Structure 1
């Protein structure tokens, strides 16, 4: 991990509070201090102040937008409510969620913040004066630089997992999450209820929230949309993620017939079972494990990656119970386990379609993310060149029926 952290300072050139030269000097001295700390902690990184050296013959606004877009830390002095500063701040604010840009809001201590534009009220604004600006900038830039570099390190660690998902850099990623049957839903899942809550009808809501969050972090330029199976009719997507098994997800059922395993659905209150429809797996039945007190110890998780067409990867996340679904979601998204899990499975499946079955343990009310370096998957199936799946790993002897 190496490179530069670019800093952009948006300010009014003429100010009744502090001259531009004094502000620039404060920033330069602050960055010198921060650079010493950053290069000590992250030797391959350095700070770079992006001064506004604009080219003649090019539209100024376009050049400013490019500088703002390229910056990692954007500093805005809104003391004078300068329109240009507010425009640049708006650009940075818009990019903040997409590019993890950090923003420092500044205002001179003599400014009455109750008079600032209403859209800026409620934001944390650092107050400065001639004596403390350098120290304030050094403190804030150092902390934000550390935060950025830690985020980048975490993203770099996730490269193997990102490659396993292989989502396009831009486009739609659709998530179709299981839905609770109408007769089981709470009243406020009804669109006609005055307190209607759309997400009240989703069954694996914890998995949906987790997948949405982690996919957005790994692929920040993707447009993520979520649907229940009854809502989903769109095909304009670059990738499809299906959460929850066939019992409560009809979209999963659409793919079930082309997969070499199936669920045996049981009445509500009983565990669904999983059977693999390949000769080497005859006699194996996969189901959750309970202790003598009928507390869940571990569930079965299934993660499948199949290429439906040249341009449409489909990911199926399922389990016998909801714990298993969440375990499947975490296998290749969890910050701690996903990198090693992705590297592990890549050795066996290369770029082929695959189906992975593993155990997800329950600790109290929490799901422990499966880690294949400590506990290998139960079964891995991979698609061969003839289009059929074969068993390439079987560690499931405990599930063989005697």
Structure 2
């Protein structure tokens, strides 16, 4: 009788550890988080009679670790993907695919409930979405705790993106420990779990702080003197990615005063007393290891303006495009880490979900393998 997919995976993991001449204790330390991964946990993954399935993230770490040969005498360490040579990278890619296929077969066997699929599915918590806080001057009176009808969500900016993300996140992870918080509410467990950052660097100080810690990522969001209401994306060579505006429009109404424009946050709309319309925003979607805990992930959904933030989320939530986009990302970035800049067209003021199979929609792509090949 052929072994079950779970038993096959358990046997393979045990064989990989033995090939590296490691004890279970050393392997737990090598995977990078001894506080969360115990010897008993490693043992449960290798128990072919009653195996427990490791998360997809941990299987990636297994493949990454086993792509290199390690000395039996040295304390083993998990390498970075960009530090692998060509043959090690080939071994990593093949082994990662093998382990994920075994895990998928175990999870999708008859009688096994699927927990969902894709970028927004996490095997372990916590998962915390950090959403920007709107400045006090732009909040509803209901955001004041002294108001009898106080509503906490009025403190949030990028609420469209948060609602879109939150519904999908909860549907894919019904039993997971998940939360959404304002930047000042984030604590240490939040920051070292799976972290999702919404919005730009000005209203989300957590996004601003972590941007400098993800040193390998070439895309940075920066403040520029000519934009008042958003921040552009920039590459190390100075190339910028900006939204598109219509030509200036004739208006039958008198232009608002400078004070009214500032109060309404429409400095980028009104220029020299003339109005223009935003017709295309830029969305930024990235998934990399959390720089504060490499066994967890950091996902960034941002834009120059809020329509770009919503577009970054809807790449993988909108039923019209998400399956194709998931397949595109899986094929283009098999290692799991990537960053992508996309066009977000606006039709009647509504942000359209980018279809990554349309080359025009993709402005720039990056993965750690790009740097290794350079």
In the alignment, the residues of structure 2 paired with residue 332 and residue 226 of structure 1 have an alpha-carbon distance, to the nearest angstrom, of 18
The reply on whether 1:256 has 2:211 as its aligned counterpart is yes
TM-score w.r.t. the length of structure 1 is 0.52
Pairing partner for 1:219 from 152, 173, 176: 173
Aligned-pair distance for 1:165? 3.9
Pairing partner for 1:243 from 198, 215, 222: 198
- Cα RMSD of the aligned pairs, angstroms, is 2.6
Matching residue of 2:286:
304
Aligned-pair distance for 1:347? 1.7
The answer to which structure has the higher strand fraction is 1
* Paired residues of 1:300 and 1:358 also in contact (CA < 8 A): yes
Aligned-pair distance for 1:262? 2.1
Gaps of 5+ in 1: 1-154, 392-402
* Paired residues of 1:301 and 1:319 also in contact (CA < 8 A): yes
The reply on whether 1:324 has 2:308 as its aligned counterpart is yes
Pairing partner for 1:382 from 355, 363, 367: 367
* Paired residues of 2:121 and 2:172 also in contact (CA < 8 A): no
In the alignment, the residues of structure 2 paired with residue 238 and residue 247 of structure 1 have an alpha-carbon distance, to the nearest angstrom, of 23
In the alignment, the residues of structure 2 paired with residue 244 and residue 189 of structure 1 have an alpha-carbon distance, to the nearest angstrom, of 19
Aligned-pair distance for 1:191? 2.1
Aligned-pair distance for 1:174? 1.0
Deviations 1:344-391 (A, max 9, x none): 122221124211100011111321110012244111111249xx6889
Where does 1:82-121 land on structure 2 (aligned, <5 Å)? Answer: none
Which structure: larger Rg? 1
Aligned pairs, number:
227
Where does 1:131-210 land on structure 2 (aligned, <5 Å)? Answer: 162-168=117-123, 171-210=125-164
CA distance 1:390–1:194, change in 2 (3 Å): farther
* Paired residues of 1:360 and 1:368 also in contact (CA < 8 A): yes
* Paired residues of 1:381 and 1:390 also in contact (CA < 8 A): no
Deviations 1:74-122 (A, max 9, x none): xxxxxxxxxxxxxxxxxxxxxxxxxxxxxxxxxxxxxxxxxxxxxxxxx
Gaps of 5+ in 2: 1-112, 250-275
The reply on whether 1:340 has 2:298 as its aligned counterpart is no
In the alignment, the residues of structure 2 paired with residue 300 and residue 174 of structure 1 have an alpha-carbon distance, to the nearest angstrom, of 24
In the alignment, the residues of structure 1 paired with residue 234 and residue 311 of structure 2 have an alpha-carbon distance, to the nearest angstrom, of 19
Aligned-pair distance for 1:314? 1.2
In the alignment, the residues of structure 2 paired with residue 390 and residue 322 of structure 1 have an alpha-carbon distance, to the nearest angstrom, of 34
In the alignment, the residues of structure 1 paired with residue 242 and residue 218 of structure 2 have an alpha-carbon distance, to the nearest angstrom, of 17
Matching residue of 2:257:
none
Shifted more, 234-243 versus 210-219: the winner is 234-243
In the alignment, the residues of structure 1 paired with residue 301 and residue 145 of structure 2 have an alpha-carbon distance, to the nearest angstrom, of 27
CA distance 1:171–1:283, change in 2 (3 Å): closer
Matching residue of 2:223:
265
CA distance 1:193–1:334, change in 2 (3 Å): same
